Amino acid sequence: MKKSVLLAVLASFALVACSGGSDDAAVPVVAAKPAWADFVATVVDEYYRRNPESASDAGLHQYDGQMSDMSAAALEEYASWIESVLVEAATYSDLEGIEAFERDYLSSSLGGQLFWLRDSDFPTKNPLFYSGGIGISVFIDREYAPLEQRLQAYTQYIGQLPGMLEQMQENLQPPLPAPYVEMGYRILAGLVEYLSTTVPEVFATVDDEQVQRRFKAANDAAIEAIQQTVDWLDGLKATATNDYALGEERFLKMLRTGQGVNVTLEELKAAGQRNLDSNLHRLHEACAEFAPGASTVDCVAKAQNNKPPEGAVGGAERQLPMLKKFVVDNNIATIPGTEDALVDEAPPHRRFNFAYINIPGPFEVGLPSTYYIAPPDPSWSEEDQRAYIPGEADLLAVSVHEVWPGHFLQFLHSNRAENNVGQHFGTYTFSEGWAHYTEQMMLDAGLGDGDPEVRIGQLLNALLRNVRYLSAIGLHTEGMTVEESQAMFEDKAFQDFGNASQQAYRGTYDPGYLNYTLGKLMINKLRDDWTTGKGGREAWGRFHDQFLSYGVPPIPLIRAQMLGEDYDGDTALLPN
């Protein structure tokens, strides 16, 4: 796909050579600009070369064993490359239709990455900027090749980890924000346990003494380097600060550059507060039916005490076939392909949130996705550990979010996207907004047959995301403390201590977690606008199929495509 670029260069050389014998003044030759499709292909190739973990995760296994260069010089070079791509993409000003859409999609995705490199201070202040990118799960959890081949790739990859951790320590500039230090410490401590126990067990059946010897040497060195880094982070706790806030200007730039959303802080907060108030009202109504005469707190406790008898993992396994059948029977959306998702317990280094799904990339064939659920922290009290396990209805909303028709169905579509950008780049508001949107949409479509307990489970998840939304704004623009955020999760989202603590900490290092509710609000508004005059509820299936067909772009770009209008990201996105 780079062939036209090469031909343009060779043609210019030929023209210069042919003019060598002329007495006329040499005429400068400007190489022809590559066609848009060739430009995109070159950018995608370069992106994966610079991000080999993303390439391997996408299923491009020629990049297996390679680790991203996280030195300060390499990060600066990467940021400069993104800037050059953005400048060149802007020169394609005469594109129309899907190519114009791709240009804006690509520019937004890379512009969002540039924000985190240049504006966020994460490379110098946040250990998670480094530890969060350690890409070992593809070799361990994904059976894309024989185990021995994956072990060799893992050994090559993990052998580079001590060097990357040295780069991290060289780049970070203490004092660091206390939540960043604590979460980096927890994740890397979990990784020590994972590499010490689970990883050797996974690869134990490989019957090649030399391969096993190389693996053990590299794995042991990695464990030692991680433990040294854990100790280093532990030592930074004494001087850690509360200086994690982006501030209003950078917070709004984060939304503008990466999500295409251009609003004032007041407009943004008002939309979130309205949705929180609405969901609290609906929760009170559902509780009046589910537990007449009880307080809302007692009502929620009653619903949450109805635990799945098989545990969270077993309960989710039971729920998924029913949810898939509901999607099909109620024309929620087309299911492309025959893939299904597995359910498993989250590994120790990935237990900083209750649930997530690991989905093979667009270049993998026939591999399963896995919906992971974190067990309670064993250091918590027995009461807090039990409280952490969700109620049956709460878990149902999580299963909708992660699998049917949330993230899993979304990626079945995006992995088949026809535009040249859709398979490679994603947007936070789209991916998490869609998954969160489906929770309420499924109940509105009839899931649960009006059972108030099921509605309570959905609303608890909605309130969790509402408080994330307001916490992100508060923590990063209004001086809210982690303790105040945790109290809001407990008081307004009815979260237990463990979840409330996790969520408040997450808001400091993941200011974009307001995108769950922000994306949902934008999708609701677009659905209502698009289906008006097209059949209303009867058109939801067609709306969902078209919405999912674009990949994972900024929602404002989809709005412009689906409604045939120019859109600049202002508050027409959000319901009043």
CA distance 354 to 574: 28
| pLDDT score of 25 more than 90 | no
Distance CA 441, CA 437 (A): 6
The pLDDT tens digits of the residues spanning 381-398 come to 999 888 889 999 999 999
Q: Which pLDDT value is given to residue 23?
A: 42
The sign of the CA dihedral 449, 337, 560, 424 is positive
- Supply 427's token pair: 């947007």
| Mean pLDDT computed over 58-87 | 98
Q: Which two tokens stand for residue 28?
A: 């400068």
Note the pLDDT tens digit of each residue in 405-428. 999 999 999 988 888 899 899 999
Percent of the chain residues topping a pLDDT of 70 = 93
DSSP 240: -
d(CA 380, CA 156): 37
Average pLDDT over residues 211-226: 98
Give the model confidence (pLDDT) of 291-339 as tens digits: 999 999 999 999 999 999 999 999 999 999 999 999 999 999 999 988 8
Q: Residue 518 above 70 pLDDT?
A: yes
Q: Alpha helix locations (H) across 447-534?
A: 452-477, 482-492, 497-509, 515-531
Helices (runs of H) and strands (runs of E) counted in the chain: 27, 3
Average pLDDT over residues 446-459: 97
Contact 180, 127 (CB under 8 A): yes
- 158 or 16: which carries more pLDDT confidence? 158
- pLDDT bracket for residue 3 (50, 70, 90): very low
Q: What is the DSSP letter of 450?
A: T
Judge whether 64 and 139 are in contact, CB under 8 Å.
yes
Residue 4: the pLDDT is: 32
Strand 369-373 versus strand 341-345 pairing type: parallel
pLDDT at 126: 98
Segment 54-78 mean pLDDT: 97
- Enumerate the β-bridge partners of residue 358: 370
CB atoms within 10 A of CB 249: 11
Please choose, from the candidates 127, 113, 245, the residue with its C-alpha nearest in 3D space to the C-alpha of residue 188.
127
Neighbours of 271 (CB within 10 A): 22
Question: Tens of pLDDT along 85-136?
Answer: 999 999 999 999 899 999 999 999 999 999 999 999 999 999 999 998 999 9
Residue reference for tokens 């854990």: 230
pLDDT at position 22 over 80: no
Instruction: Tell me the CA distances in angstroms from 387 to 285, 380, 491, 505, one per residue in order.
Output: 24, 10, 15, 19
Beta strands 369-373; 355-358: pairing state? antiparallel
Please say if the pLDDT value at position 44 is more than 80: yes
Q: What is the mean pLDDT of the chain?
A: 91
Structure-token pair, residue 527: 């659905």
> What CA–CA distance (Å, rounded) separates 159 from 65?
9
pLDDT score recorded for residue 17:
31
User: In degrees rounded to 5, what are phi and psi of residue 401?
Assistant: -60, -45
Q: Nearest CA to 89 among 79, 98, 75, 102?
A: 102
At 403, is the pLDDT very low, low, confident or very high (cuts 50, 70, 90)?
very high
Mean pLDDT calculated for residue range 532-542: 95
The pLDDT-based confidence of 349 (bands split at 50, 70, 90) is low
Classify residue 63 by its DSSP letter. G
Domain ranges across the chain: 1-32, 147-239, 254-307+390-573
Q: Strands 341-345 and 355-358, how do they pair?
A: unpaired
Q: What is the pTM of this model?
A: 0.89
Q: With 90 as the cut, is the pLDDT of residue 380 above it?
A: no
pLDDT band at residue 7 under the 50/70/90 scheme: very low
